[in-house]
Structure formats: structure tokens, C-alpha cells
Structure 1
Amino acid sequence: MPVLVLLRHGESLWNKLNLFTGWVDVPLSEKGIKEALKAGELLRGLRFDVIFTSELVRAIQTAMLAMAESGRVPVILHEGRMGEWGRIHGEDGKDFIPVIKSWHLNERYYGELQGWNKDRAREVFGEERVYLWRRSYDIAPPGGESLKDTAERTVPFFRERILPALEEGKNVLVSAHGNSLRSVVMHIEGLTKEEILRFNIPTGVPLVYDYANGELVRRGYLTEKGYDKDLGI
């Protein structure tokens, strides 16, 4: 039975500083590195056939670190000359995991809020307005995306690239971001606008789905104690 694992990147340096990050390409913090390695320990028993990540380094780092002890080598697939020159010769590929990057899986774009301290933003714009920008479904921050806007790029990519891999019987790891993954979960589980606003994905904790008979069924968050279906609710 194919498995889909959604993994929110570990804590980034700007998460640590309480800043709106969005599409700013900020790496993991020391805590985030540890979270990614811990996720890899938990996932050690799963053999992934393909990995999808966003274009942002914190998601790529998380995938690479999580796979560090898997016994296989994640190899980023490039296009153009990089792809041509990066071809693997003389190997059957069994020890390599293809990694596909796409901006469609990037975090929600926060527009003019990017780089703002979240507490400072509340002081300047007001608690209620910032709350709506952060937690509503279809209200976007100035110049940015709402969760609805984010879903309009993540869900088609999920349908066109990720779902076919599962249909081929492949185990898939998706390393991305809180909001991009929430929009995918909303689609998979048929959650309402109200339900997705209460749904949170913890950093560095794998969320596992089983794919069978054309459907994805949540197994739960993979923890040291086993699977927890309700951790993000």
C-alpha cells in the first residue's frame, strides 16, 4: 500500500525570531535541524520512491536531513543544462531518491508583511486585522496571498504531480510549509473553511496517509509513541 507523508519543515531562523517569512529563503535554526533529524529517525522504516519539496531552503534542508540516515541518497532533479550534466551514469538508481522542487509548494506569500515581527505588526495594524490576515481563509495580507490563494497553486500541483506517483504505487514524501501543507490537507480530507482554520501542522512531525482504492486515509502523526490522529487538531 503506497504511503504519503507530509512533513512541515523544522523551525527556521525567522520562526525563532517571530518574523513573517513567506517566500524569504531563510534556513533552519539549530532546533529546526534537530527536528528534521528526528523526523528522519521516525521515518527510517519507510522507503521513499520520490520526494517533493518547495523551492525554499528550509523545506529542502528538512528533506535532506530527514533522509540522511535512510541509506539512500536524495538527488535533486534539475532542468536544462543542470539536468543534462547531472545525469547519473553506470548506476541502476536503486540507491537514489529523486527530489522534485516546485514553487507551487512554497509557503503562503505574506506580501508586505514579510520580514515584520508579528508582535510589532499587531501594534501597528491592530490585533484583529493581523489575526484575519493570518488565520482567515480568504482574506490576504497587503500584496500577499490568502490560504485560498495558496490552495489555488498547491492543489493542482498535488493532483497533477503527487497523486499520480501514489497511483503508480510509489511512497511519497512532501517537505513543505505550514500553510501550503494545510491547503493540501484541506483538499485530501474535504475540510471546511472553519475546520482548516483550526488545523495546525507541527514542525518536524510527519503526517502519514495510506493510499488505497483511490483514496487517502489519515494514519496519523508519527511520534515516538506511535501514530496520533489528532495531534494537529
Structure 2
Amino acid sequence: MPKLILVRHGQSLWNLEDRFTGWVDVPLTDLGREEARRAGQKLAGFEINVAYTSTLARAQETLKVMTETMGVTLPTIRDQALNERHYGDLQGLNKARTAEKYGKEQVHIWRRSFDVPPPNGESLEMTAARTLPFFERCILGDIQQGKNVLVVAHGNSNRSIVMSLDKLSNEEVLALNLGTAIPVVYDLSPEGEVLSKEVLS
């Protein structure tokens, strides 16, 4: 049965600085590269046929470090549909200072809710509206051909995929947080139904 492996990128510079990143292209930190190496080590025994990633450098660099660690070269598709959610006016702002300005509850809603976007940005619902059609058309298309697929993307693009696969409600997804560079391995049926799930933390 085909496997789908989802990985959020390793720690980025703005993760370290506790800033909203969104579509701003920031590099990995040394810790982020080490996290990517550890993810590659955890996946060293897996046969993977194709990789998908976003158009943002932190995801692409994570994938590069992972495949180098695994000693493999994978055909790779890069697509904006897998980009992080766009944080709009919050991009570049420090999260703690933003919470002081707008209140912790409001910032938590902007970060975690399904359908409330930050000012001039995307909600998770809006992110899913671009991520899931691409996932269903392209990534599940590979799964249906029996391929094992690695997706290295972002907290929210991957959250939208997990929400769909795990059939989470709008309320349940509030508690979903994906750690940096921790592989989530699904065994899927050719139709894309989840048969098993393992988090390689």
C-alpha cells in the first residue's frame, strides 16, 4: 500500500525570532538544518518515489538536506499551492508583541482558527482552498499509481491536508500543531483512505 509522508520544514530564522513568516522567503537556521538531517535519518529505510514541496526556500532546503541525508535523488515537484498561508499584515511582526497589541485570544484565533483570516491574509480555510485541490489532483494521483510520496511544506498547508485525511472538524483543527521536521507517515489505500498513521517524533 502506498505511503504519504508529510513533513513541515525545519526551524527558520523567523521561527527562531518568533515572527509571522507566511510567504516571506527566509532561510533555515542551523537548528533547522539539523532537524532536517534528523528527519532524513528517520526516513532512511523508506522507499520514496516522488517529492513535492512549495516554492519557498525553507521547505526546499529542508527537502534538500533530507534527501542528501537519505542518500537519494527524487523527482521533485514545486508548487505555490503548498506554500504557507499568507499572514497578510502580520508578516514580519513579532508574535508576542502582536499579542500585546491585539490580545492573546485574537492572535490565537488568527493563527489557529479555520475560517478567520488575519488582516489582508489567508485563513486556514482559504489555504485549504488552494492546497487540497492540488493535493487531490496531483499528490493523490501519484498515490493512486502506487507511488510513495514525500511532501515537505509548511505548518498550515500540511495542517489542511491532515485535517482532510484525519477528518477533523473546524473545532478539532484548532488544537492541531505540526512540529518542525517531524515526519507524519500515512499508509493510504489507492483511493486515498487512511489505513494507518504514525508520527516519527
TM-score by length of 2: 0.96
CA distance in 1 between counterparts of 2:105 and 2:44 reads 43
The reply to whether residue 181 of structure 1 matches residue 181 of structure 2 is no
The reply to whether residue 218 of structure 1 matches residue 173 of structure 2 is no
Q: Report the structure number with the largest CA radius of gyration.
A: 1
How far 1:7 moved relative to its partner? 0.3
Q: Give the equivalent residue in structure 2 for 1:5.
A: 5
User: Which of the two has greater helix per residue?
Assistant: 2
Q: Give the equivalent residue in structure 1 for 2:21.
A: 21
Secondary structure (helix, strand or coil) at the match of 1:46 reads: coil
Secondary structure (helix, strand or coil) at the match of 1:139 reads: coil
Q: Give the equivalent residue in structure 1 for 2:93.
A: 116
Q: Give the equivalent residue in structure 2 for 1:31.
A: 31
- Residue 213 and residue 55 in structure 1: after superposition, are their counterparts in 2 closer, same or farther (change >3 A)? closer
The reply to whether residue 155 of structure 1 matches residue 118 of structure 2 is no
User: Which of the two has greater strand per residue?
Assistant: 1
CA distance in 2 between counterparts of 1:12 and 1:218 reads 30
How far 1:126 moved relative to its partner? 2.1
Equivalent residues in 2 for 1:74-113, closer than 5 Å:
97-113=74-90
RMSD: 1.1
CA distance in 2 between counterparts of 1:213 and 1:180 reads 22
CA distance in 1 between counterparts of 2:61 and 2:190 reads 33
Q: Which runs of 4+ in 1 moved over 6 A?
A: none
Deviations 1:100-158 (Å, cap 9, x if unpaired)? 00000000100000000011111222222212211211111110000111110011010
Unaligned runs of 5+ in 2: none
CA distance in 1 between counterparts of 2:76 and 2:174 reads 30
CA distance in 2 between counterparts of 1:67 and 1:147 reads 29
Moved more, 185-194 or 35-44: 185-194
1:204 to 155, 164, 181: 181
Number of residue pairs matched by the alignment: 200
CA distance in 2 between counterparts of 1:102 and 1:149 reads 16
CA distance in 2 between counterparts of 1:186 and 1:193 reads 9
Moved more, 126-135 or 111-120: 126-135
Q: Give the equivalent residue in structure 2 for 1:82.
A: none
Task: Read off the aligned partner of 1:24 and give its amino acid letter.
Answer: V
CA distance in 1 between counterparts of 2:35 and 2:79 reads 23
Task: Read off the aligned partner of 1:218 and give its amino acid letter.
Answer: S
Deviations 1:8-54 (Å, cap 9, x if unpaired)? 11100000000000000011111100000000000000121110001
How far 1:213 moved relative to its partner? 4.9
Percent sequence identity over matched residues? 50
The reply to whether residue 125 of structure 1 matches residue 88 of structure 2 is no
Deviations 1:68-116 (Å, cap 9, x if unpaired)? 132322xxxxxxxxxxxxxxxxxxxxxxx11100000000100000000
Secondary structure (helix, strand or coil) at the match of 1:138 reads: coil
Task: Read off the aligned partner of 1:148 and give its amino acid letter.
Answer: E
The reply to whether residue 45 of structure 1 matches residue 37 of structure 2 is no
Unaligned runs of 5+ in 1: 74-96, 224-233
